[in-house]
């Protein structure tokens, strides 16, 4: 009876994990791809601010596309997909994504601080040359990839399919460094990937709060940075606290917790990383008005292209009716060649005033084109 209950619990747990993974995968892939495509295809959105956000979306996309299927497959089958490669690459991509998010939040906070303390008027993020954007992104990406390099040497796959500490076959000096990193890993994560972005963002926010109190645009950008920081800390803090607590309890963790508790806690920590990667683009599209409007315009373009021929013919008949109305109104007015320049302006104004609804309809149809997809 007890074995049957355990089997039922495990089956329900597997279904719940599978459903949650599908939701996170779909939302994260669509959101991150949309954010990258919006910044890439729209010239007026290619600022350092938006490119940093697109860089975060790129690494979040890699984590969801590669790491999420591997983790779920291991949870459901207790086998490592791709063997030792996934054993090393999954932690490396996850830690690199943490580093990119950390340094991106610091870069965004510095950007808001410079915008608040600059002597000139505050404006929206300007279009920058590609060299300037690539230099800033390279600092963030290379720094994150270098700091995550020990993860490639830290994990190895045992014959039973379990992870182990660094291999003793490494050179002695490298083995000692990797072993030191393994022992200080939880505190390194807590200090570099949690405390650093939190303290940095709070410090910049307190400095710029009074300056930006009366400026709506900068207040929105500052709120975006704070929202990203809160999401980042919320999704990464539980795992750090759990690891520190388990490391410093007097009894072994296997004696304190049930047999299934440790794998469940490990999986919850992994899923929180995937939740952050999926929720970040959704949060950005909701808070950043320019990105959200570009996403809506792109969706409208795709919907208009997918409309049937009947709707397109109806819209073309409406535009043709508007054109014929304007032309008939113009024909009923005096000939422009026989009028003076002032009379011509009055004639055009009278034509537009006689049919304001047609003019507004034409203007609205042109504004609906939006950002090219």
* Gap between the Cα atoms of 75 and 47, Å rounded: 41
Contact 35, 371 (CB under 8 A): no
Domain boundaries, the chain: 2-148+184-300, 309-367
Contact 115, 66 (CB under 8 A): no
Q: How far is CA 185 from CA 104, 240, 242, in A?
A: 21, 10, 13
* Gap between the Cα atoms of 110 and 104, Å rounded: 10
Contact 63, 277 (CB under 8 A): yes
Q: How far is CA 333 from CA 155, 300, 356, 360, in A?
A: 83, 38, 16, 21
What is the chain's pLDDT, residue by residue, as a tens digit (373 residues)?
666 666 776 677 788 888 999 999 999 999 999 999 998 888 778 888 889 999 999 999 999 999 999 888 888 887 777 777 888 888 899 999 999 999 999 998 888 777 777 665 555 556 677 888 888 899 999 999 999 998 888 877 665 555 566 666 778 888 888 888 888 888 999 999 999 999 988 888 887 776 655 555 566 777 888 899 999 999 998 888 888 887 777 555 555 555 556 667 778 888 899 999 999 999 998 888 888 888 888 777 767 666 655 444 444 454 455 455 444 444 444 444 444 444 544 544 444 444 444 334 333 433 333 333 3
- Please say whether the structural domain 2-148+184-300 has been given the CATH code 1.20.1070.10: yes
pTM of the model: 0.75
**H/E run at residue 148:** none
| Helices (H), ranges, 166-288 | 172-183, 185-190, 196-209, 216-248, 253-256, 261-287
Backbone phi and psi for residue 335, each to the nearest 5 degrees, phi listed first:
-65, 130
Q: How many CB atoms lie within 10 A of CB 140?
A: 21
**pLDDT for position 278:** 93
**H/E run at residue 157:** strand 156-157
**pLDDT for position 298:** 76
């Amino acid at each position: 009876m007890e074995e049957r209950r355990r089997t039922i619990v495990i089956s329900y747990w597997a279904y719940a994990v599978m459903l949650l993974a599908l939701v996170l995968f779909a939302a994260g892939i669509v959101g991150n791809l949309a954010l990258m495509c919006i910044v890439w295809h729209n010239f007026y959105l290619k600022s350092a601010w938006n490119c940093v956000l697109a860089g975060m979306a790129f690494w979040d996309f890699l984590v969801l596309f590669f790491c999420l299927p591997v983790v779920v497959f291991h949870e459901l089958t207790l086998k490592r997909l791709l063997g030792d490669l996934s054993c090393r690459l999954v932690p490396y991509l996850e830690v690199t994504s943490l580093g990119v998010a950390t340094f991106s939040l610091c870069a965004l906070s510095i950007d808001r601080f410079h915008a608040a303390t600059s002597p000139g008027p505050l404006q929206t993020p300007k279009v920058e040359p590609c060299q300037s954007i690539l230099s800033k992104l390279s600092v963030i990406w290379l720094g994150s990839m270098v700091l995550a390099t020990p993860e490639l040497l830290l994990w190895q796959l045992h014959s039973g399919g379990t992870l182990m500490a660094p291999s003793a076959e490494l050179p002695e000096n490298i083995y000692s460094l990797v072993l030191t990193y393994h022992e200080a890993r939880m505190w390194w994560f807590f200090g570099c990937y949690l405390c650093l972005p939190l303290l940095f963002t709070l410090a910049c926010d307190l400095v710029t709060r009074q300056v930006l109190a009366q400026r709506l645009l900068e207040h929105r950008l500052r709120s975006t940075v704070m929202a990203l920081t809160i999401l980042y800390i919320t999704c990464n803090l539980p795992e750090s606290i759990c690891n520190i607590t388990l490391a410093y309890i007097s009894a072994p963790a296997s004696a304190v917790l049930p047999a299934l508790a440790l794998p469940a806690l490990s999986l919850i920590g992994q899923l929180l990383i995937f939740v952050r990667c999926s929720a970040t683009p959704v949060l950005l599209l909701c808070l950043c008005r320019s990105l959200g409007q570009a996403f809506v315009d792109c969706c409208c373009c795709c919907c208009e292209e997918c409309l049937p021929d009947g709707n397109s013919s109806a819209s073309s008949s409406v535009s043709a009716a508007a054109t014929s109305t304007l032309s008939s109104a113009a024909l009923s007015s005096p000939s422009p060649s026989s009028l003076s320049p002032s009379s011509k302006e009055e004639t055009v104004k009278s034509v537009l005033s006689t049919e304001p609804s047609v003019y507004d309809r034409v203007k609205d149809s042109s504004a609906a084109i939006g950002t090219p997809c």
